[in-house]
Structure 1
Amino acid sequence: MLEPEIQAQILTLYYSDKRSMESISRELGINRKTVMRVVQRRSVLLVPSKRERRSHLDPFKEMIRAQLRKDSRVTGTALLNNLRGLGYTGGITVLRDFLVLERGRMERPREAFLRLEFGPGEVAQVDWGEFGDVFGDGIKVHCFAMVLAYSRMIYVEFTRSEKFEEFIRCHEHAFNFFGGVPRECWYDNLTSAVSDRMGGLIRFNARFMAYMGHHSVRPHACNVASGNEKGRVEDLIKYIRMNFWSGRTFTDFDDLTKQFIVWRDQIANIREHRTTRRVVKLLFDSDEKPKLLSLNPVPYDTDEIFSRNVTSDFHLQYETNRYSVPWTLVGMTITVRVNSRELKIYYNEKLICSHARSYLKNKVFTTEAHRTGLLERKPGATRETWQLGYVKGLGPRMAEYVELVRRGPRSLKYELSRLVALVTVYGEQIVLDACSECLGSGVVGVDNLELFLKRSHHPSKANLMPELIKFNNEKLNRVHPAVDLRKYDALYFEGENHTSASKEVTDGNNEQAAASRALRVEAEILGPSPDRRSCKDEGSGARSDLEVSNPVDREGEGGATLINDPKQDQNSEISQS
């Protein structure tokens, strides 16, 4: 191919200077056919034109395209086997090159998205990142990332698992780091948050919703394959990989955590963000932090809690590891609380022992103090024999207690096992004192003894009456005095007595009035006559006799004021009310 300058010179000589092709060929020393091609093309080529080469694959390209439209994941080897039967004689390399070219053309076009904008304190985006086995111990390092969508303030915590308890524990740490909670948290359909999804129907994890409700935060599950909805947290994971992770070495997990805290506080959160063009922490302190919702003052329990029955080898299993407990608790049911660093063991809410949590696999952790006394047992002694001797050896009161239990209907094996466990949990002297109290009250049985110990040594005895919740409205903080309802009972029964006395007097007056009305009706019917007058007199006399024979006692038989006295009527109505 001629250089672009020579091509331009040929075109100038031919079209501007009207020179012939032959003279141009002689002057420039170029073949006449080459000059003719440049003149006929009438343009300058900067790169050589590629000549299409024929390929053995040409007759089969349409068939390959049809196969790719049916199944875009078909492999070159499978296609080669089919083409061999149709007469294809080429190699697999040209076939694979053609497949790469066609698959690139078949990719769906890039979609257009609207840029999401958020106000201060509205949304935080959350996601996990994985960094592999960093320390070569078979434990993957995970990264919990939360970013506030407005100010880009970040909180990141490295963990050694993605369990649900780790998930909400990191949330709790992040909210405390920000000093408040956003109104919504957006998630990329994490299994810790979303238990099931079918299209637009979403079912959140019930335990996760309980935590979100504790802080009054609304969760939101992003649409599948919608990177624009969670772009801020995905960019944060990329930023950590490129800016923090690359080029660093860590001695252990604690060193990784320390180095990241320094990087977060001295680099990441004080940088000028390329989108907002403002310093992240300054924007957070001035605009977003005042808009965050206040934290729930009651801390959320993020520990993993479960119960285990102590096996005969006085160990309990958590994940793939085994941890020891005092051997005297064999057969007992204990409670285990696990956080990110420690595993605590309780018996009836009393702390027995603790172990450092290990993320290694299939390890056994035994404390020597937990097996103390186990090897001192006689080789031929049964469990019941040593338990009986141990309990009786605690003191005469305990020996008396065991003798009373033995004579009763209770199971001696059950009583001895529980007594040994109580001594392990509370100590010998406390159990002896409780046993003396029970014997002094005439009570036996390990259940009663344990109930007495729980009442006397409750771990939260000092916190049974927590402080009252303080509200912003002072009217809600008022404590109203207790009302003695016995006063109302006395007023009620006094009113009942007055009502009964008044009812008796009213019934007597009603009888007298009825008799008088009967006499007046009879006089009106008979008319004026001596007989009627005498009848009237007799009726009057009868009425007088009736009134005299049933005089009204103003005070009543019991001294109660009757209803006929107006002054007393008013007092009676007040009492009844």
Structure 2
Amino acid sequence: MEKWLMFTEIYQMKQQGFKIRRIARKLGVSRTTVYKYLEKSPEDMAEWMASTRRRTRKLDQYELLIHTWLSENPDLSGAQVHDWLKERFSDLSVGESTVRSYVKELRDKYNIPKVMTPRSYEAIPELPMGKQIQVDFGQSKQQSSQGGTQNVYVICFVLSHSRYKYAEWLDRPFTTKDVIRAHEHAFEYFGGIPEEMVYDQDALIVVSENGGNIMLTEAFQTYYRERKFQLYVCRKADPESKGKVENSVKFIKQNFAKNRVFKNIEQWNEQCLEWLERTGNGKVHNTIKKKPAEVFSVEKKHLKPITKKISHSPIDSSIARVVRKDNTILYKSNRYSVPLGTYDQHKDVYIKVTDDKKLCIRESMDGPNIAEHALCEGKGELIQDTQHKRDRSKGIPAYMKTVSEAFQDQDKAMSYLQDIQTQYPRYMRDQLKIIADSVKDVSSNAKMKALDECLNNHFYSASEFKDVLSHAVRQERSTEDSTTTIPEGSSERSDYDHMKPEERTLDSYLDVLEGSVT
């Protein structure tokens, strides 16, 4: 509308005989703008205004973000874009079909063709509720937040009737114990056990098909007898016989895992559970035309209840966790504290949840508890034991006292450290650490000589003290080396004492020099 009013004023002033310069000055625009508007007739202006009108759409504010995703990941599907938007903007209310249409427009607008990797499966007849769970494994290579790539491995369980899914990831290949533990987690997630479990001929479970007499691995055979479910093993190269879980693994890898950045396995599994609730089980299934979560609410009643937990099976109930830099571990989106100093770049701890809802943390699988917390039902909470906190009120003074005790004259050392604290109040802990490390295994004389030198020259810095101390140590060693001589009157004799030089007469030298004198 403003452009149309501008055109009308320019057109009227021109009809009244105003010059271009006067029109531009009066309307506060450039002469180029005046010429541009005068080149158009009223009909042309109306047509141009109509072509510029465009209804603002809800997804326009996310155009740059979606374009970035598509540029970095050309194989991104509309469904995955919809899931990513819901993950980042929980209050966004938009249909998946709307997102697919918008993604298609952006692909055309920016010429970003989609990379297609088609794969087909053969359908199998539907099974009754509670009849069957299909199990399969998958692997994916992810970009790591630390740089480079990280291989991650997944085991997936799918209820054949409702398509209700559970998935668990590891940052290393699965072992049979891992598979058994994942089964227990899946049965707990489903709230029961089906009549039949369907597997591929994976070496972690099956040793040999043996003409129909299935031979299982020793650990899984014990677990199978304990849980007492029927077992069905697919023939080799026959993925269609468990097509539901094949599709589910593909869905998890392409919708959840693809293009997602890996940080650590705990966060990865938590994000996967949230994805299952939001998309994996919360989205309408393309075959049954219902949400798996809704169908599962009915199918759950047909599963056999878990009457007891297996405690003497080969399941290691301790789960490894990475200790974070702030001396906490992550469990179900909450942070639980461990004692200060537990953190190490390559160190894991082991956690176990007890029947009375306590989280026990151990440094070794069978070791004593180093921390114990009541489980938190919320998310994003910090559960911290007061004994795990640093007493900051007396930390620096106590540290200064400890460092000063390394010197022969503690009062002088404390005075020097106080001068350093005046210079570096924010970095005093770092300054003390440098000094404490530098005086280890150094003689008292060298330490005091360095201290006096720094006080005399007003060197109030840990790095300067370290340099002066290094010089004092070198001088001390040089002095020691120069004094290591054989004492006078020593009875020790050299190996060359018995050797005597040959004595010659003066005539011998005259014969040699004969004729050389002119």
| TM-score (normalizing by structure 1) | 0.33
Which has the higher Rg, Structure 1 or Structure 2?
1
Bigger relative contact order, structure 1 or 2 (CA pairs below 8 A, ≥6 apart): 2
Bigger share in helix: 1
